[in-house]
Amino acid sequence: MKLGLLLLTILIGCSSSKNVDTPAEKNNENTQLSFEVLVEDQIGGFVKEEIRIIKNRESLLEVYGYVNRIRKPGFSIPKVDFSKETIIAVFMGEKTTGGFSVTIENVKEENKKLIVKIKETKPGPKDMVTMAITQPFCFVKINNVGKEFVFEKL
């Protein structure tokens, strides 16, 4: 009986939490934005380091077509409402071994800009890596907010 009452008290206590807006969220000066990782992989085909902001279907088909040209089956092309969403494609460029990766760590809305933090992982000098040419890349989808993008590497 006591155990049941204790469990009931814990369940009620856990379910009664409420969200509290921080001052930054209320003022929209420094707000963390959610994003969806569409794909991350090691073979993207882009030899040079590059970041693309994709704002239309044609550009999306072009970049997926390029990445998928050596894949059977290729990555499926996502459904994107470009009036509400934007795709960010980050290409790390060609690397001579495995052990490299690139990802979007976070996206913040800061004043009139979107700050996109990019994390690149590189193998250490003594790490064992595959002997293969790679071109790491990452695609993410974010909501359109009509602001200037600023990219920062961590």
Instruction: Give the mean pLDDT of the chain.
Output: 84
In terms of Cα–Cα distance, which of 139, 142, 141, 143 is closest to 39? 139
pLDDT digits (tens, 9 = 90+) for 14-41: 443 333 443 444 455 678 899 999 999 9
Q: Tokens at residue 80, please?
A: 């994107």
Residues 6+ apart with CB under 8 A from 3: none
Question: Per-residue pLDDT tens for 113-143?
Answer: 999 999 999 999 999 999 999 999 999 999 9
Closest residue by Cα to residue 41 from 119, 120, 139, 151 = 139
Beta strands 35-41 and 85-91, pairing class: unpaired
Give me the residue spans of the domains in the chain: 29-125+138-153
pLDDT digits (tens, 9 = 90+) for 55-108: 999 999 999 999 999 888 999 999 999 999 999 999 999 999 999 999 999 999
Read off the tokens for 67: 């990445």
